[in-house]
Structure 1
């Protein structure tokens, strides 16, 4: 389907930039969101798109982004929550007091989605979240320790955040699908991007050294599922996909009560910020 307004976060490079280009070529109106002013503007200029800046490590920046998007667009058909990353071996907190991995990968996208929900509902829109197989490999969510104050590791924090993202997708579907909103999460594959740039991250060796040319696929390949989900007439709402199939999930991702509890806890956390 052509002519959609598609907002893509984390679009200054990698999968987001590739998806923005491919979707623009298909005739959609693309809104590029990134953290780097230079890189984000360059991507937008290449495809003739509007762009906005936001740092997901600052919730005030997310709120400002939402206000800009609502002012600029009477319709938002697709929100692609693609921004994210894995951080260092030492636990870090944001200016908002939250563990950085949790905030950037989950809390900030949750906030942006909630601030745009009514506009998405009015457009009968969809929310697409770039998740990861890490939800199953490393995730073990403790709803009483979402900020990883106990037993932090970079990989577990990332797995927990991606698991939380899938639980959010499922709960978003449960609450709003009967009003026309669709929500889907996907694993893009193991892709050669700027992911795991911190040298203290165990995955840095794979993603940021010459080994990536042996084991990783291109951003264009990684963007295929995002492009297909943004462009399709319908998506399997509430699901987590790997390619065209339902992806293997962490058992916790099937827990509907946990999804509800996480949603409620997250809203209380944001109300206190």
Structure 2
């Protein structure tokens, strides 16, 4: 039976490959990207060609640098489906060359890679009644520290790679918190490092090579198909311990409280 699937960051790199890999099992398939629909028409045609006959495909553009757009995305998705079997929070940005704040005063990498997925997940949680949430993380989170007293990285802690790792540590920590506070035992929440992948995001921060995006997509699809693993962090396809900070309930609760305060503002 086809599943109702939501995938963010679906137009480039890992997300594009994942959209194509999930197409055959989805109805509806709801894709998100930064670009207007007419700029990704070729991708949408390729995805539609891989979908089951009669399956529905929706595309919504939203810039996670603006949390109002993340809220609008929630509204758009809720308008086209009553059920979400799989939510893949993949959208991400590299840390920009210089410390950059959004209009609401959040460090932009933290907002895009962490706050916006929280907004989207929270807004769709009642639709994920018996579904699965897969948060696409990064092994860089293992070397980061969560600066709960300085989530904007304003105190001389900023570098592009540090901001990216910090945002992904927050996402893994949130995954662990949500796994412990899921609204129903039928909801499963996991996070996954999909591999070191040769994308524009990687090369914006690191001078290294990497595997093809299809390698990451295969790993995400594999993890998306697992069951009975609520709270697991995957290094590609292997369950591994996350950063100890992410696994600490007190840290999870402090991040959650700080997040609620930020989003309230």
Q: Report the TM-score when normalising by structure 1.
A: 0.88
Partner residue in 2 for 1:43:
43
Cα deviation for residue 196 of structure 1 reads: 4.3
User: Measured at CA, do residues 39 and 216 of structure 1 come closer, stay the same or move farther in structure 2, by a change above 3 Å?
Assistant: farther
Checking the alignment, whether the CA contact within 8 Å between 1:85 and 1:196 is kept in structure 2 is no
Cα deviation for residue 155 of structure 1 reads: 1.4
Partner residue in 1 for 2:93:
85
Aligned length: 255
Cα deviation for residue 47 of structure 1 reads: 1.4
Partner residue in 1 for 2:148:
143
Q: Distance in 2 between matches of 1:254 and 1:163?
A: 11
Checking the alignment, whether the CA contact within 8 Å between 2:95 and 2:159 is kept in structure 1 is no
In structure 2, the residue corresponding to 1:241 is in which secondary structure? Answer: strand
Checking the alignment, whether the CA contact within 8 Å between 1:80 and 1:127 is kept in structure 2 is yes
Cα deviation for residue 87 of structure 1 reads: 2.1
Q: Distance in 2 between matches of 1:24 and 1:55?
A: 23
Work out whether 1:62 is the aligned partner of 2:70.
yes
Partner residue in 2 for 1:155:
161
Give a deviation string over 1:199-229, Cα, whole Å, max 9, x none. xx4x1x33xxxxxxxx311111111121123
More deviation, 106-115/153-162: 153-162
- List aligned pairs for 1:178-189, cutoff 5 A: 178-189=184-195
- List aligned pairs for 1:257-268, cutoff 5 A: 257-268=250-261
Q: Which runs of 5+ in 2 are unaligned?
A: 49-56
- List aligned pairs for 1:238-257, cutoff 5 A: 238-257=231-250
Q: Distance in 1 between matches of 2:75 and 2:87?
A: 14
Q: Distance in 1 between matches of 2:29 and 2:184?
A: 27
Partner residue in 1 for 2:53:
none
User: Measured at CA, do residues 189 and 113 of structure 1 come closer, stay the same or move farther in structure 2, by a change above 3 Å?
Assistant: same
- List aligned pairs for 1:1-273, cutoff 5 A: 2-37=1-36, 38-48=38-48, 49-121=57-129, 124-137=130-143, 139-150=144-155, 151-176=157-182, 178-196=184-202, 198=204, 201=205, 203=206, 205-206=207-208, 215-232=209-226, 234-272=227-265
Checking the alignment, whether the CA contact within 8 Å between 1:32 and 1:40 is kept in structure 2 is no
Give a deviation string over 1:69-105, Cα, whole Å, max 9, x none. 0011111111100000212231001122210110011
Cα deviation for residue 255 of structure 1 reads: 1.0
Give a deviation string over 1:17-37, Cα, whole Å, max 9, x none. 111111112355321110012
In structure 2, the residue corresponding to 1:155 is in which secondary structure? Answer: helix
Q: Distance in 1 between matches of 2:190 and 2:222?
A: 12
Q: Report the TM-score when normalising by structure 2.
A: 0.90
Q: Distance in 1 between matches of 2:141 and 2:40?
A: 28
Give a deviation string over 1:140-161, Cα, whole Å, max 9, x none. 1111111111121111111111
Partner residue in 1 for 2:54:
none
More deviation, 83-92/173-182: 173-182
Q: Which runs of 5+ in 1 are unaligned?
A: 207-214
More deviation, 176-185/251-260: 176-185
Checking the alignment, whether the CA contact within 8 Å between 1:86 and 1:196 is kept in structure 2 is yes
In structure 1, the residue corresponding to 2:31 is in which secondary structure? Answer: strand
